[in-house]
Amino acid sequence: MDYLKIQGTPSLSGTIKISGAKNASLPLIAMCILAKNKVKINNLPDVVDIKTLLKLLSNLGSECSFGVNEVVIDTSMMHETKATYEIVKTMRASILVLCPILARFGHCEVSLPGGCAIGQRPIDLHLKALEKMGAVIEIKAGYVEAKAPKGLKGCEIIFDKITVTGTANIVMAAALADGVTTIVNAAREPEVVQLCEILNDSGITIEGIGTAVLKIQGNGGKLIDIQPFSIIPDRIEAGTYLCAGAITNSELTLTDVEPKHLDAVLAKLEEMGFSFTTTSNTITIHPTDEIKPVKIITQEYPAFPTDMQAQFMALATQANGTSVIEERLFENRFMHVSELQRMGAEISLNGHIATVNGKTELSGTDVMATDLRASSALVLAGLIAKGETDVHRIYHLDRGYDALEMKLKNAGANVQRLKE
Ligand code: EPZ
């Protein structure tokens, strides 16, 4: 297994190019199951989760031909409708194939994804919505078995909770349903917006894109002609590198980024004393005289993203004063805390609320990654810790960060990827 060896770095400089968004790529790859033509996807990030989903599509009989950060997906020969545990257990977002397969073939079996480190991650809202659209759902031996031999029917779906992949799944089901589907309490994340925009551009009329109420005009089960598209920039990768610039108090420029997807993150960094210069596709963070403490509550987009919570926890250790971070989406998303504490961070937990006292000097040591975003928080801490930090189990990082150590090295960090 690989690990990252990080020496404390006085500061970073230069530019970091942001890759395509992992969480936009996953539903858009699943969407290709609805296509009647070969679909060309550009600006695809080179991360493990994308490879996993493309492998799943190949196992189902699709053909994927790869270029650099691009893929052409041909699902015309798709014949399998069962997504097996072997793949789904490694990436719970595989659940995104459930609705496209069901909408296209009238039946589908997908292994229950199981929980993950950050929480139980149920899919009850996906399944309840599908049943309302006429699917018959059974859970058998750890698999979801869904049937809709006569196709799915458009109807009104009201999500009890905002669910990102739940919204994406039902949008894809609705695209081939008979009649209109209205989704109330829909997720508004940019990744869901791009899925709706691509479907809308491909002839599936969707009203309310970017709002909490989506109205999808289904085409009654016909496959869709999907034009080539390019994945939007990864706002969480961008936020992570903004925190790298912040924690080292550096001047750092991100390119190929979409600033408007980062309003809540930029607002919190401004509260902490940082300032920015932005253009349509770049953000430069400027150093501050003093890093101020911050209060953060994670909520659905456009509020502060849970996927940036761990990174801000690392940053808050360098603020002069007490920061408070409340995690409202996942039940177990504080696993980075114990590792940060081992580096000297003063963090106390009370249920879903973490209190971080700063400024504390962190010391390098061996730390263990536990989930994707927690791993990035440990890398950020390693950038400013005294001495050497070895971050183990970085397969978590490789799931969602494209060439992280190369990007940090190019910005002046002392990071090496080594073998255990
Ligand atoms: C997506 O996960 C992202 N993953 C996550 O990013 C992100 O943290 C999360 O949205 C929240 O923004 C992808 O897009 C692939 P949810 P998702 O369904 O869709 C509850 C990363 O680091 N819920 O929006 O699985 C659930 O338990 C990953 O890139 C139900 O109760 O999250 C949670 O409390 C981590 N029943 C809340 O809703 C359901 O059927 C939000 O979950 C579905 C969800």
The protein residue with its alpha carbon nearest to ligand 1, atom 4, reads 23
Tens digit of pLDDT at every position of the chain (420 positions): 899 999 998 899 999 999 999 999 999 999 999 999 999 999 999 999 999 999 999 999 999 999 999 999 999 999 999 999 998 888 889 999 999 999 999 999 999 886 677 887 889 999 999 999 999 999 999 999 999 999 999 999 999 999 999 999 999 999 999 999 999 999 999 999 999 999 999 999 999 999 999 999 999 999 999 999 999 999 999 999 999 999 999 999 999 999 999 999 999 999 999 999 999 999 999 999 999 999 999 999 999 999 999 999 999 999 999 999 999 999 999 999 999 999 999 999 999 999 999 999 999 999 999 999 999 999 999 999 999 999 999 999 999 999 999 999 999 999 999 999
pLDDT of residue 87: 87
Give the ligand 1 atom nearest the CA of 125: 40
> Which atom from ligand 1 is nearest to the alpha carbon of 119?
27
The verdict on whether 32 is a catalytic residue reads: no
Q: CA 115, CA 186: separation in Å to the nearest integer?
A: 22
Pick the catalytic residue from 99, 116, 155, 196. Answer: 116
Q: Is the overall model pTM greater than 0.95, yes or no?
A: yes
Mutate which of 23, 96, 195, 333 to test ligand 1's pocket (most atoms within 8 Å of Cβ)? 23
| pLDDT at site 28 | 98
The predicted pLDDT at position 115 comes to: 65
Cα torsion at 52, 53, 54, 60 (round to 10°)? 110
The DSSP symbol for 12 reads -
For the Cβ of 121 lying below 6 angstroms from any atom of ligand 1, the answer is yes
Give the single-character DSSP code of 285.
E
Q: Is 127 in the pocket of ligand 1 (CB under 6 A)?
A: no
Residue type, 241: Y
Q: How far is the CA of 121 from the centre of ligand 1 (A)?
A: 7
Which is nearest to 224 in space by CA: 206, 251, 243? 206
The edge-to-edge listing of strands for the beta sheet with 180-184 is 156-158, 180-184, 213-217, 206-207
Residue 362 dihedral angles phi and psi, to the nearest 5°: -95, 145
Backbone dihedral angles phi then psi of residue 128, each to the nearest 5 degrees: -65, -40
Instruction: Name residue, tokens 């730390």.
Output: 367
